[in-house]
């Protein structure tokens, strides 16, 4: 996996805008203009990721820890996690893996827990996340 510099990401984003966000034309044009001197993006996801980071007012170069970009989960994934904890208020997060088929966390939550537990993510990711219990009309919910 190649990591691009800020200048390379900037050129990708400028071409994406220049060609009116044309998904097919942007990578091809980037290869034609910069292919001899730079590694060209394999997929449009690289360019769209840079555009999204700019829209979210983040760094154009993604934060990586040991070469692994942080994971972003879709809202449907988060909803499945919350629904699981609604059905099973006392549950091991290791058991949650079988439901969502993704490696998540390594700790155990209990319904009587007053403190906000810290969750340890995989060593390759090393990004910290927290689970907060909040009260709604349905009862206690855990927010990841």
Per-residue model confidence as pLDDT tens digits over 63-87:
665 555 555 666 677 777 778 778 8
Long-range contacts of 43-47 (CB under 8 A, 24+ apart): 46/4, 46/12, 47/12, 47/13, 47/15, 47/16
Q: pTM of the full predicted structure?
A: 0.40
Do 131 and 85 touch, CB atoms closer than 8 A? no
- H helix intervals, the chain: 6-18, 25-34, 44-55, 75-87, 93-100
Asked whether the predicted pLDDT for residue 36 surpasses 80, the reply is no
Domain boundaries, the chain: 6-55, 75-143
Task: Indicate the helix (H) or strand (E) that contains 134.
Answer: strand 132-136
């Amino acid at each position: 996996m190649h990591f691009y510099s800020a200048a390379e990401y900037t050129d990708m984003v400028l071409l994406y805008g220049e060609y009116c966000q044309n998904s097919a034309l942007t990578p091809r044009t980037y290869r034609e203009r910069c292919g001899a001197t730079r590694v060209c993006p394999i997929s449009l996801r690289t360019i769209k990721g840079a555009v999204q980071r700019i829209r979210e007012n983040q760094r154009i170069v993604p934060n990586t820890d040991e070469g692994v970009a942080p994971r972003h989960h879709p809202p449907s994934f988060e909803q499945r996690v919350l629904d699981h904890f609604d059905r099973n208020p006392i549950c091991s997060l290791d058991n949650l893996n079988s439901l969502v088929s993704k490696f998540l966390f390594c700790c155990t939550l209990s319904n009587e827990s007053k403190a906000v537990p810290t969750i340890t993510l995989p060593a390759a990711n090393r990004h910290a996340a927290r689970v907060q219990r909040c009260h709604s009309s349905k009862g206690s919910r855990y927010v990841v």
